[in-house]
Amino acid sequence: MTKIVTSLLRLLHPGKERIFKTAVSLLMISCMISSFKIARAQNLKEKFNVVNRAVSLDKKSGAVHLNEAEGAGIAWLKGKVFTKGIIEFEVKGKDEFQASFVGIAFHGVNDSIYESIYFRPFNFRAADPVRKSHAVQYIAVPGYDWPKLRDGFPNRYEQPVSPAPDPNQWFRVKIIVAEELISVYVNNGKQPVLKVRSLTHTRGKWIGYWVGNASGGDWRNLKITAG
């Protein structure tokens, strides 16, 4: 490409040479940026199987971001398997009513069969005690999504989070998955904010970042310890 540019410069009027050089420089910069974006997208595809979302990565913090869209979304982690043990991560949603559902999916068999623990940050500090009691949720889809659990087992598979984190900031989560029991801890708390018995035995091993309807979210510092 350099030889072609040099040849073209010899044919140009001296007054136009600077304009041409500038245009070529901008073109080369644009090509470099495009190549970088393609390489980064390929790198993300190697790390995630993404369902109904777009995934991006913050270079400085290493945080994973899923965008907002209709329906639930998952970024399954390629090369990671999980059956029981400890899942630790930091997550950030936002204080916007019915627009922030962030958590983790595990025991995945496919994109529609899995268990999940997720949070509703907009309910963390709600004045309404009913809303506040819907801060952390367990589901096992497709058979036990949140409407069925709330109607059939009120206050068993969703609970408040106390002390309540700032709904617009990062908070830390630890999920202990045993043979039958699932315990959820927030911000290094000594008592679980949610403790439930698993409602399914999918034998699935997929694990990934999960968001609910109309929600995006951010995650960082994921640590998976096999039990």
Laid out side by side, the sheet with 114-119 consists of: 48-51, 73-77, 206-211, 102-108, 114-119, 136-141, 158-159
State the pTM of this model. 0.82
* CA 55-132-181 angle, 5° bins: 70
Asked if residues 168 and 94 have their Cβ atoms less than 8 Å apart, the reply is: yes
Q: What is the mean pLDDT of the segment spanning 31-56?
A: 72
Band (pLDDT 50/70/90 cuts) for residue 40 is very low
67 Rama sector, left if φ>0, alpha if ψ -120 to 50, beta otherwise? beta
The hierarchical CATH code for the domain 52-226 is: 2.60.120.560
pLDDT in tens, 65-98: 999 999 999 999 999 999 999 999 999 999 999 9
Q: How far apart are CA 175 and CA 157, in angstroms?
A: 14
Q: How does the average pLDDT of the chain come out, rounded?
A: 89
